[in-house]
Structure 1
Amino acid sequence: MATTKGMSGLDLAALTAELKSLLPLWIGKIYQYNNTTFGFRLNGEDKARHLFFIEIGRRAHRVSELPPAPKNPSGYSMYLRKFLDGGKVLSISQKSIERVIILEIGKGSGTLNLAIELFDEGNLILTDGEFGIQNALKKRHFREREIVSGEVYDVGGVDLSNLSPIAFSELLRSSERDLVRSIAVDLMFGGAMAEELCIRAGVEKEFPTQYLDDRIISQLYTAYKSIIEDARSHNEPVIDAKGCWSFPLTGSTPKSRYTTFSEALASYYPLPTFHEEKKGKKEVFSREERIRRQQEAAIKTFEAKIADSERAAELIYERYTDIRQLITTLDAASQKMSWQDIAKVLKDADHPAAAMIVSVNPADASVVVDIGMKVTISIQKSVEGNVGVYYDLMKKFRSKREGAIRAMNRPTPKQKERTAIRKRPKPKWFQRFRWFETSDGVLVIGGRDANQNEELVKKYMEGGDTFVHADVHGGSVVIVKGTTERMDEVVQFAASYSNLWKSGYAAGDVYSARPDQVSKTPESGEFVAKGAFVIRGEREYFRHVPLGVAIGAVTEPTLAVIGGPVSAVSKKAKHMIRLTPGTFEPNDIARKAVRTLRDKLSSNDAKVLKSVLSTESVAAFIPAGGSDVVEES
């Protein structure tokens, strides 16, 4: 039953069946509104559009409209878009009868899984086809499972929605609870639906499970199967006084009826309102006021940490005997086995002492225990030594607090007004490679030598990228980081930074391939040199690509010298030079380019660009071999 607190496993069984009826589907846009809410645009056949709203830890269902898209997409929504955008939803399933929906999505030649968790705080977890976790909205460390990259997402276990009569009987008869609690907990039906099952079976809900005979078991199993079937057929969803149901319960009086379960859920759970920042003038504070506010916030933070440290020390002393026994036991165990083995033993142990251990940190021989708050205990220290660590933290944060208070009371010296000086921006990670941005804003990077070619493929090439190379021995490996409409610029870049330029060709052929086609594994008897790769499968060829490179200087949004295809550089640079294969050495061309660009710049721009416009910065964009300046603008 869907209540204000959230949906149940049976509710998700109904929703999963509803979504399955819509297949095939394709992933459209993905939005994240805050830390818990997401919107998916799913595209169906015949231009059908389905809007799917998720509030992790609470509910998931289709809606008639999504909230307005955020102006600034979140990092995680951009990550999901990168891997899932355009992917085909191959299947939709539920893990047993748990509050977990799994979308199996085909993208390119691979398969991904998106797990939507609605239990506890909820989560969104992206895995590969074998359920190896790639990324999760919330990284989590539990005794039973790890939700971090590299771990395997557990989809195993008994399917409680499809038990055989024998398994159903064994599950109930082995329970030590009364009937209704056994159904609610062991079958994961929840209280209200467990009572519905008892009513349909004609069995008292307090009936002791140890006295269940074959006749009663048969009645209960028939009722169990009928409830699962009613949920999955989502026949006549309703809202009554107790909540939202995928079907009417026995004896209930529906307030309203709906065609689909999503319609009922959308009516029961109104969409939240997300307030965009109001346009208009923001409150502006002076520098002194901003500093004062920062100091006040820092003092509150220090006071909270002092209180936490003091509380931790008190709790350790309160549980002195337990903590001492824990230290002694784990210290003895560490002499005989590794900390990784200790962590495995603790995970499976049912001892009360093990139950209070939240996580194990092999790196520093410590454990995190829950004794009213989470406290780190070092096995290499005594109880008093662990308390001393928290007393030292108290002293540290008290000192910081006093320092912040003194700083607040110190008179602020008057600052002389200074004219802002534009500084040379810090180099970005990709600027040590060859690089440019296409006219539609997609980053393209290429290797300067064999070592960088190897590094680009092994370290930076990802599933949604495109591999590009001139159809000639010797040249930059070019990686397109995303999808672009300007492949003409990309292939010109690849052709120009290859041996085609050094050989004096005016044009040449270039090909592209998917990342999964690129390999370092040679065929039997063959050898793949450093910086070279084997391409398997069909390539896309671009014939007679003209060679050409432009170099320009830009002042906005940052100071920089840029290079690449003419159309990409001309869009950003006020002045530039254009090169073709020719006779002059790279150093001579670099010096001439600097002189030409400085002559074209206004006196103000020349002064601003003085820190970045140099022979060295220009030479980084000049291809190996001879070049000629054919056009200046």
Structure 2
Amino acid sequence: MATDKGMSGLDLAALTAEVQSLLPLWVGKIYQYDNTSFGFRFNGEDKARHLFFIEIGRRAHRVPALPPAPKNPSGYSMYLRKYLDGGKILSVTQKSIERVIIFEIGKGGGTLNLIIELFDEGNLIVTDEDFVIQNALKKRRFREREIVSGEMYEIEGVNLADLTREAFEEILRSQERDLVRAIAVGLMFGGVMAEELCLRAGVEKAFPTQYLNDEILSRLYDAYRNIILDARSGSNPIIDTTGCWPFPLIGSDKPVSYPTFSDALAAYYPLPKMEEKEEAKKVVLSREERIRRQQEGAILKFEERIRDSERAAELIYEHYPDIQQLIDILKSASEKISWQEIARVIKSSDHQAAKMIVSVNPADASVVVDLGMKVTISVQKSVEGNVGVYYDQMKKFRSKREGAIRAMNRPPPKQREKAAIPKRQKPKWYHRFRWFETSDGVLVIGGRDADQNEELVKKYMEGGDTFVHADVHGGSVVIVKGKTERMDEVAQFAASYSNFWKGGYGSGDVYAAAPGQVSKTPESGEFVARGAFVIRGERTYYRNAPLAIAVGVVTEPGVAVIGGPVAAIEKKAKHMVRIAPGTFEPNDIAKKVVRMLRDHLPATDAKVLRSILSTEAVAAFIPAGGSDIIEES
């Protein structure tokens, strides 16, 4: 019954009986090796040790040895250790004949259930004694059930491993199909074991269930009971050419016997070689080989997506009437009630259309339906429109596949000589202020706050300088260190780093004065705040200076971020970004500017560029208030 795909419900019936016979047991070490594999050490009486390996979604059984313990325990294994380590295993049971094992564990006066699911993708779930979920390896929400903390784990239902004669007959007759399929599906026996039951009962597997009489049903029921008993007794487990079985089948080919079913399973499923995985990680591949492997993986992924999309489109057409009915019902319902209410109604409905639905996505008015594979259906589209979505996906993935194939066939680029590593520009004394150099080479400095405004005037303003300020309350004190023909650039600088920018203005007036006109002495009865000054005498005005700044990167004489008036930065930086008053916060704009500049700059040296062209460096040139990017160049 155990095959490469995994163990069956009858296999777990045999395994459960085997472990139950070893009780009492206590939980010892717990390990998690990867996303699906766990190891447990169970301690028995007289210092007996039993090692248990779980590969969720596939198999669970005792093994002679566990893989080496991982160096760093996972979060979920630490959780299991905290709540299960040292606990006594009170019972080991199976849910019906499903691929679910339940370990009932007593610890600290309470009881927990460790539930191992081997169907679909598998799961490892911890519940309290009332089967309320406490934690799960994989949190899942389905139409039929929810595997999240606080939800009830459904344990009730018909026990298909212990049916009465009447219940057995009712299940077979309700299938309305040939006998072997009725047994495989209705009793969850699977195809091979369903054929075994027919052989033991001496009934043709194609026999129609509607013609079953009492005599045939009695033979079938006896065969059913014997198969269950053989599985639970663990009598002579074998491996033959078709798989691993808890007992010999009629006509088994070249069977090899084992003392216990776990021994057979351990031989059939060799443990994954975790140490080889670790060694594989140490192999250093060339850049070209890494790229080639990535491209091969991408091509396989695209081909799988193409097949899935094509199959989904075919399934929608095959179920055209059902899908059309589903769309009509849900579209009509969504006009009257919310999608959240629709989801609740579907969960409790027995309607044929509702049974198809696996999950509901209120955000985009769609549902996932099970048509043999999970297919998303948009209620806002027609049947043909939904098919068209999958055909579009096919086209997209085909195009990506062709691109990956072309990239693989492209000859590797010639190795270029390593470019000289650019040097960082040496810091200057004025770099802690706002600053720029005019197009004719004159240094201009501005204060970032009131303290720097005071410092610039008291410490750095000299007789040949020019004092400049925006004609608005609140702004940088700007000092022009010498004579320049580009006062338009200075005016733009002063206007941009003022409250004109905060106010969202497009332009503003700026005035200039000589150093001798600037004073901290107020008129009688007035007060001059820190960072503010009194200007006496005539001022020179520059009207309607446009608000805009640019941020760029220079590489000569060293790599550095610069910012200031557009004309001044444009002359020095090969690539820059223009900014004007707008809506985005300074830090957000700084991040955008960094991304845009990095896209254009040559990758001369990653470390130098990463350390210099940073959000912090760019933010130093962004005015306070909202900003927008005008364009890049």
TM-score range relative to shorter protein: 0.5 to 0.7
Q: How far apart are residue 246 of structure 1 and its match?
A: 1.4
Alignment of 1:145-294 (within 5 A): 145-252=145-252, 255-274=255-274, 275-278=276-279, 283=284
Alignment of 1:383-398 (within 5 A): none
Change (3 A) 1:148 1:413: farther
Alignment of 1:536-575 (within 5 A): none
Query: What SS does structure 1 have at the residue aligned with 2:93?
Result: strand
Change (3 A) 1:208 1:52: same
Query: What SS does structure 2 have at the residue aligned with 1:93?
Result: strand
Q: Which residue of 2 aligns with 1:475?
A: none
Change (3 A) 1:343 1:267: same
Determine if contact 2:135/2:148 at 8 Å carries over to the other structure: yes
How far apart, CA to CA, are the structure 1 residues paired with 2:167 and 2:325? 42
Determine if contact 1:14/1:233 at 8 Å carries over to the other structure: yes
Query: What SS does structure 2 have at the residue aligned with 1:151?
Result: coil
Determine if contact 1:248/1:254 at 8 Å carries over to the other structure: no
Q: Which residue of 2 aligns with 1:17?
A: 17
How far apart, CA to CA, are the structure 1 residues paired with 2:423 and 2:248? 73
Instruction: Please tell me whether residue 141 in structure 1 is matched to residue 141 in structure 2.
Output: yes
Q: Which residue of 1 aligns with 2:342?
A: 342
Change (3 A) 1:415 1:128: farther
1:546-577 alpha-carbon deviations (Å, 9 max, x no partner): xxxxxxxxxxxxxxxxxxxxxxxxxxxxxxxx
Residues paired across the two proteins, number: 410
State which drifts further: 48-57 or 82-91. 82-91
Change (3 A) 1:185 1:371: closer
1:1-31 alpha-carbon deviations (Å, 9 max, x no partner): 1222221111110110000001111111112
TM-score for both structures, normalised by structure 1: 0.54
Query: What SS does structure 1 have at the residue aligned with 2:278?
Result: coil
How far apart, CA to CA, are the structure 1 residues paired with 2:239 and 2:372? 40
User: Match for 2:260: what amino acid?
Assistant: T
Change (3 A) 1:342 1:98: same
State which drifts further: 7-16 or 254-263. 254-263
1:212-236 alpha-carbon deviations (Å, 9 max, x no partner): 2222222221221111111111112
Instruction: Please tell me whether residue 114 in structure 1 is matched to residue 114 in structure 2.
Output: yes
User: Match for 1:341: what amino acid?
Assistant: E
User: Match for 1:12: what amino acid?
Assistant: L
Change (3 A) 1:175 1:359: closer
Q: Percent identity?
A: 68
Q: Which residue of 2 aligns with 1:31?
A: 31
How far apart, CA to CA, are the structure 1 residues paired with 2:7 and 2:282? 42
Q: How far apart are residue 269 of structure 1 and its match?
A: 1.7
Determine if contact 1:93/1:101 at 8 Å carries over to the other structure: yes
Determine if contact 1:20/1:91 at 8 Å carries over to the other structure: yes
Structure showing greater Rg = 2
Unaligned runs of 5+ in 2: 408-412, 425-633
1:513-561 alpha-carbon deviations (Å, 9 max, x no partner): xxxxxxxxxxxxxxxxxxxxxxxxxxxxxxxxxxxxxxxxxxxxxxxxx
Change (3 A) 1:277 1:262: closer
Unaligned runs of 5+ in 1: 419-633
Query: What SS does structure 1 have at the residue aligned with 2:175?
Result: coil
Q: How far apart are residue 122 of structure 1 and its match?
A: 1.7
How far apart, CA to CA, are the structure 1 residues paired with 2:191 and 2:51? 31
Q: How far apart are residue 376 of structure 1 and its match?
A: 6.5
Determine if contact 2:234/2:260 at 8 Å carries over to the other structure: yes
Determine if contact 2:248/2:255 at 8 Å carries over to the other structure: no
Instruction: Please tell me whether residue 81 in structure 1 is matched to residue 81 in structure 2.
Output: yes
How far apart, CA to CA, are the structure 2 residues paired with 1:223 and 1:229? 10
Query: What SS does structure 2 have at the residue aligned with 1:345?
Result: helix
Q: How far apart are residue 374 of structure 1 and its match?
A: 6.8
Q: How far apart are residue 245 of structure 1 and its match?
A: 1.7
How far apart, CA to CA, are the structure 2 residues paired with 1:322 and 1:221? 37
1:150-187 alpha-carbon deviations (Å, 9 max, x no partner): 32222121000101111112222222112222112211
Determine if contact 1:238/1:254 at 8 Å carries over to the other structure: no
How far apart, CA to CA, are the structure 2 residues paired with 1:281 and 1:233? 47
How far apart, CA to CA, are the structure 1 residues paired with 2:27 and 2:174? 44
Query: What SS does structure 2 have at the residue aligned with 1:174?
Result: helix
Question: RMSD in angstroms over aligned alpha carbons?
Answer: 4.9
Q: How far apart are residue 325 of structure 1 and its match?
A: 7.3
How far apart, CA to CA, are the structure 1 residues paired with 2:139 and 2:348? 22
Determine if contact 1:133/1:153 at 8 Å carries over to the other structure: yes
Change (3 A) 1:111 1:213: same
Change (3 A) 1:246 1:368: closer
State which drifts further: 337-346 or 93-102. 337-346
Query: What SS does structure 1 have at the residue aligned with 2:182?
Result: helix
